Amino acid sequence: MAERKKAEKKTKTTAKKKNAGKSKKVSRRKQKNGFGRWKLLFALAAAAFLALALYIGYCFATLPDIEKAVARTRQPSTTIIAENGQEIRTFGNVYSEVVYPSELPPHVVDAVISTEDRRFYSHFGFDIIAFTRAMAANLIKGRYAQGGSTITQQVAKNLFLTSEKSIKRKVQELLMAFWLESKFSKDQILTLYLNRVYMGSGTYGIEAASQKYFQKSSRDLNLLEGAVIAGLLKAPARYNPAADEKRARERAAVVLQNMVNTAIITPQEREKALKMPLGAQIHDKLEGGKYFADWVYAEVNAYIGERENDVNVYTTLDKRIQNAAESALRQAVFANAESKNVTNGAIVVLDKTGAVKAMTGGINYEKSQFNRATQALRQPGSAFKTFVYLTALENGWEADDEIDDYPITIGNWKPENYTKKYYGTVTLEEAFIRSLNLATVNLAQKLPRREIIALARKTGISTPIDDTPAMVLGSSAVKVLDMAVAYLSIANGGYAAWPYSITEIYTRDGYPLYTRINDEEDRARILDEDAVEEMTDMLEKVILEGTGKRARLPGFAAGKTGTSQDYRDAWFVGFSDRYVAAVWLGNDDNSPMKGVGGGTLPAEIWKKVMTAAESDE
């Protein structure tokens, strides 16, 4: 019995030892597994940290050259100015002198900081609070609704980087911001920001913006103007006062409220500021004239060569006539687009010296910058007949001489009159007034075609003219501007004419680079005086008795209608006592219009524009 108990005790003791051994092994295994997991996590964290460090190092290594970024060149600005002094358009970037924060009214700097970076003077280049708030707002709204960049980060982006939206650019922006904070004082960073940030309408820096929008130095900005400047920094194209004064004021009200919220101004001061004036002439910009501005800009270097200075280009454009031309063209096209299938047009108005007073190259510049007044080639139709009859008059024919209006066949070509009828024997004057095709072709057969072509060329037609029988009916495509210039040579009594648009060019500092010399006394006669006088009488009768009756003015008016085959082009070109104008209507795809001839809509448009031009009101 005793031996049995002893054996059982021994067995239990052995079992306990075995179990204890097993427990120790399990415990060691658990410890080992736990350590392995921590080791793996540590390895992964180390790898992630290394990858991040390598990426940051890569971003740092690929930062742009700081010296090159600071010294980078810019495109000199060219401001195109109308005859009355209003700006039409500015090309390139406008910068002005450096202005330091200490030179500005305190409320201007306060407006910028309270809106763009409230903790500018306390953060180290990165505002954690603003960043967190912006991230939360963006997550809640599910879109980019708020930015968290500091002024330092904006300087880094504007001065050294691009606006590319990528992680790399954002990391580089942050690195550059830290570098800026370590190298420059807060006031120096603010100076860089205020003088290099884009402020809309081609302006960079607070001084350029102030001069453009308010015609005054930034040193003299009132509280409302300072708020407008601060407000447009969020979206320069949207909030600048030249684009939309109402929207700029609404945004300024938000800026002023920010200043109230940060206890910079009182609510009463805010209400007072909202009633302050905005600049001398906030709307000193001509609406329209963009086709003209493009045309002028392309010519500037031919006058003054390549340059590094910003320049102001003073032109011949007349605001009143330009507005009348644009309005008349748009109204006619919009009212007849569906019923007449007419979708575009162009107008050029010149004075008797060749100065371009109005140019409209289409009905919608935003949709198409193609200038139909200077670039499009369109068939002039019967408007070209003027050169045929003028050649005849120069060759000894007279207006009352007779010509046959009978069917004629030249090779495979069988021209017809517009009415499909023929009128027998008619005078040159009658044939021209009624725009008879058959009589014109018969007349041209009795003239050297090369002389007709030469006359058209010396009066201003610069495009190729085909030496074919159909040429006399306007089969060769021409430019609207050229047609206006060609008729100007008749309007001015028979002298050579050239269109011009630039009168003076100055640097922005007021240094003269070009001044046009009046050379009217040196004009060369290119047309016979008697022939021109007789041609003018015939053109006048086109309006009084013939196909151009809808263009009739209270005073003197002379002109010619033109319609190409299948109504693809419709023209009216003519002159009054003081001005010459060419009007063209058609479609860019060359599709036919529905019954739009030169004596219809083009003549009506011409009358509206010339009435406005002659009114002097």
* Residues belonging to the active site: 116, 382
What residues contact 205, with CB distance under 8 A and at least 6 apart?
A: 95, 96, 98, 99, 194, 195, 196, 197, 199
- Distance between CA atoms of residues 537 and 441, nearest Å: 21
CA distances 196 to 143, 162, 205, 227, 339, Å, are 29, 13, 5, 18, 52
Q: Where are the alpha helices (DSSP H) in 62-198?
A: 66-70, 106-116, 128-141, 151-160, 167-183, 186-196
- Distance between CA atoms of residues 312 and 515, nearest Å: 12
Q: State which H helix or E strand residue 539 sits in.
A: helix 529-544
DSSP string, 339-393: HH---EEEEEEEETT-BEEEEE--S-TTT----TTTT--B--GGGGHHHHHHHHH
CA nearest 313: which of 500, 507, 499, 498? 507
- Distance between CA atoms of residues 254 and 130, nearest Å: 18
The pair of structure tokens assigned to 549 is 């009756």
SS3 187: helix
SS3 87: strand
Exposed/middle/buried for 110, CB within 10 Å: 0-12, 13-18, 19+? buried
- In the block, which residue shows the tokens 């101004």? 265
- Distance between CA atoms of residues 80 and 510, nearest Å: 15
- Asked if residue 482 lies in contact with residue 461, where contact means CB atoms within 8 angstroms, the answer is yes
What angle, rounded to 10 degrees, do the helices at 167-183 and 151-160 form? 110
CA 1 to the chain's CA centroid: 115
DSSP assignment, residue 120? T
SS3 475: coil
CA nearest 199: which of 94, 85, 309, 102? 94
Phi, psi of 231 (to 5 degrees): -70, -35
Length in residues, the chain: 617
